């Protein structure tokens, strides 16, 4: 048994190798095509979206919820 452990101890370092990791960082290039104003489209209920239609949609949803509650 001791001989097997010694043999295993001598072979173990041969198969051990450090793992290599690579990391990639992806960032915007800052071009005008990727400007914040072009990539963020206004939508209802969003800070950049129109207020009137967003308020009307919120009130309509609230009415439906209030009617469902009774």
Model confidence over 2-17: pLDDT tens digits? 566 555 556 555 555 6
Q: Which of 39, 58, 60 is nearest to 48 (CA)?
A: 39
C-alpha–C-alpha distance, residues 26 and 63, integer Å = 45
Q: How far apart are CA 27 and CA 2, in angstroms?
A: 56
Both structure tokens of 44:
């209802």
How much is the pTM? 0.32
**pLDDT per residue over 15-47, tens digit each?**
556 778 888 877 667 777 666 666 566 665 566
Residue 55 has pLDDT above 80, yes or no: yes
């Amino acid at each position: 048994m001791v001989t097997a452990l010694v043999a295993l101890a001598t072979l173990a370092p041969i198969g051990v190798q450090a793992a290599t990791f690579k990391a990639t960082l992806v960032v915007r290039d800052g071009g005008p095509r990727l400007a914040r104003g072009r990539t963020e489209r206004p939508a209802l209920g969003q800070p950049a979206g129109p207020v009137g239609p967003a308020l009307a949609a919120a009130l309509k949803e609230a009415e439906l919820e209030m009617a469902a509650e009774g």
